[in-house]
Amino acid sequence: MDLKTGGKTKVKSGFDVEKIRKDFPVLSQKIYGKLLVYLDNAATTQKPACVIQALERFYTSENANIHRGIYYLSQQATHSYEGVRTKVRQFLNAREDREIIFVRGTTEAINLVAQTYGKAFLKKDDEILITTMEHHSNIVPWQMLCDEIGTKLRVVPIHDSGELILEEFEKLLNPKTKFISVVHISNTLGTINPVRKIIEKAHARNIPVLIDGAQSVAHLPVDLQALDCDFYAFSGHKMFGPTGVGVLYGKAKWLEAMPPYQGGGDMISSVSFEKTRYNKIPYKFEAGTPNIAGVIGLGSAIDYLNGIGLDSIHQYENELLSYANQALSQIKDLRVIGQAKEKAGIISFVLGDIHAHDIGTILDHEAIAIRAGHHCTMPLMDRYQVPATARASFAFYNTRAEIDALARAIQKVKEVFS
């Protein structure tokens, strides 16, 4: 296999994948003497050198706490940190910087909304609508809220293809529906949901919508003003940034009306034992010293993505997906779970009666990293009546040659179990 040529055929988009691969130090690494083939990008993405350097630079020469120091270093750190807020706003075309809240990741973002918006604006017997293909992080926070205040969880079913049944979605909408939380791209099926349409239908009934964007921000262009969603949540580490940092976007009108999530420093404007005043947004939701270095690393990841362009990334990953679909369709007994018309570069599959973990172990032996299991979507596994799937998920640094290697390794799995 010649990874250097980036595959047999030149890709249509003219994307220079070989140049891009050089930006990712981890990709030149050998595992068991073989060049790493990293196909677990839906779990986390690798980091370009610029992100790694941004973290090092911050701790080497800029480290100070933000929003409080009167000295040079603290002002620099504050400037860098707040600069990323603007960068995120521009990246997603949000209206205002103050609508961008830094959190630990998608999970924390959704918990924040469930615990603050949920407790302030939802009441017993109100219905919260999610879908069958949600990640546990967009199921459990709502179940916890239901336990606490007596709201009810309703679930939009899906077709076998992995697409939402939109007629059922509309049927489920009723006067009790008070919140909708939907995944943009399914981490298991790769389905790109028609979120624009869902938001329109919801807004026609004045129902706010949260979009779980964990799998989308790094793979297709997202325009929050065009989408008009009320909340949007995503993680830095799935967009080539550091772990432990993420973003909750919320419309200012909601964020201002919502109570704080956690109490502590930075989220207050004054504290006495009799009366505490909360800070304005976004600071009201950023209690304590945040992940400053992580935010700065996230900023660097956004610069990197902008340098390539989300349109090019989306196009290249689409080509990879078609190539992979073609390659895997040649393998007898391989069944792809999730065949939506609109799909991102995520392929879940089962292979005859061979268990996903056996596939994972054998592929690992070929230095191919994939995910095997339920992908934090156990209700979805139940829907398809499979205990687990194997999942290959792509990023723009993956090549056709790597997909060929994947297909060959799957054949090897079949040989072992023949």
Partner 1 sequence: MLELRELYQELILDHNKNPRNYHALEHADHEAEGFNPLCGDRIKVFLQMDGDKIKEIGFQGTGCAISKASTSMMTAAVKGKTRQETEEIFNQFHLLVAGKKIETFDQNLLGKLAVFSGVREFPVRVKCATLAWHTLRAALKGEEGKTVSTEIISTEWEAG
Q: Could you say whether residue 90 binds partner 1 (CB under 8 A)? A: no
Question: Residues 373, 383, 407, 414: which binds partner 1 (CB under 8 A)?
Answer: 373
Q: Give yes or no for a cis peptide into 282 (omega within 30° of 0).
A: yes
Determine which residue in the list 54, 388, 390, 395 makes contact with partner 1, applying CB under 8 A.
Answer: 388
Q: Which is nearer to partner 1, 30 or 341 (CB)?
A: 30
Binder among 135, 178, 374, 391 for partner 1 (CB under 8 A): 374
How far are the Cα atoms of 31, 116, 211, 311, 405 from residue 28, in angstroms, in the given order?
10, 44, 35, 26, 16
Residue 48, amino acid: P
Furthest C-alpha separation in the chain: 74
Binding of residue 417 to partner 1 (CB under 8 A)? yes
Binding residue for partner 1, selected from 143, 243, 325, 339, defined by CB under 8 A: 143
To the nearest whole angstrom, how small is the minimum distance from the Cβ of residue 409 to partner 1? Answer: 11
Q: Does 365 bind partner 1 (CB under 8 A)?
A: yes
| 105 HSE (CA, 13 A, CB side) | 15
Of residues 381, 392, 395, 403, which one binds partner 1 by CB under 8 A? 381
At 129, give phi and psi (nearest 5°): -105, 125
Least CB distance from residue 335 to partner 1, whole Å? 16
Of the residues 335, 387, 407, 414, which one makes contact with partner 1 according to CB under 8 A: 387
Give the pair of three-digit tokens for residue 21.
């691969």
The residues in 3-42 that bind partner 1, with binding defined as CB under 8 A, are 32-33
Of the ranges 215-223, 228-236, 324-332, 361-369, which one interacts with partner 1 (CB under 8 A)?
361-369
**Of residues 67 and 355, the one with the C-beta less far from partner 1:** 355
Q: Which of 79, 93, 150, 322 binds partner 1 (CB under 8 A)?
A: 150
Q: Which of 50, 146, 229, 376 is catalytic?
A: 376
Distance of CA 394 to the CA centre of its chain: 13
Decide: is 172 part of the binding site for partner 1 (CB under 8 A).
no
Considering only residues 331-360, where is the footprint of partner 1 by CB under 8 A? Answer: 354-358
50 as an active site residue: the answer is no
Of residues 151 and 399, the one with the C-beta less far from partner 1: 151
Determine how many CB atoms are found less than 10 A away from the CB of residue 356. Answer: 23
Q: Is 362 in the site for partner 1 (CB under 8 A)?
A: yes
Nearer to partner 1, 132 or 216 (CB): 132
CB atoms within 10 A of CB 53: 14
Give how far Cα 237 sits from Cα of 104, 143, 209, 284, 365, Å.
10, 26, 24, 24, 26
Residues near 378 by Cβ (< 8 Å), separated by ≥ 6? 136
Tell me whether residue 365 or residue 383 sits nearer to partner 1 (CB atom): 365
Q: Is 105 left (phi over 0), alpha (psi -120 to 50) or beta?
A: left
Check residue 146 for interaction with partner 1 (CB under 8 A): yes
Q: Strand 346-351 vs strand 389-393: parallel, antiparallel, or unpaired?
A: antiparallel
Query: Is residue 29 classed as helix, strand or coil in its secondary structure?
Result: coil
Q: How far apart are CA 19 and CA 356, in angstroms?
A: 33
78 lies in the binding site for partner 1 (CB under 8 A): no
Nearer to partner 1, 92 or 388 (CB): 388
Contact between 98 and 121 under an 8 Å Cβ cutoff? The reply is no
Rounded to a whole number of angstroms, the minimum distance from the CB of residue 198 to partner 1 is 22
Give how many residues touch partner 1 by CB under 8 A. Answer: 27
Give all strands (DSSP E) within 157-261, no chain letters. Answer: 177-183, 209-212, 231-235, 246-250
146 vs 247, beta carbon nearer partner 1: 146
Using the rule CB under 8 A, is 44 a contact of partner 1? no
Q: Does 309 bind partner 1 (CB under 8 A)?
A: no
Q: Which is nearer to partner 1, 27 or 381 (CB)?
A: 381
Phi, psi values for residue 151, rounded to 5°: -75, 165
**Interhelix angle 106-121/140-149, nearest 10 degrees:** 20
β-sheet bridge partners, residue 346: 393
Least gap, CB of 416 to partner 1 (angstroms): 5
Query: Which residues of the shown chain bind partner 1 in the complex (CB under 8 A)?
Result: 32-33, 140, 143-144, 146-147, 150, 152-153, 354-358, 361-362, 365, 373-374, 378, 381, 386-388, 416-417
Q: Which residues are catalytic?
A: 376
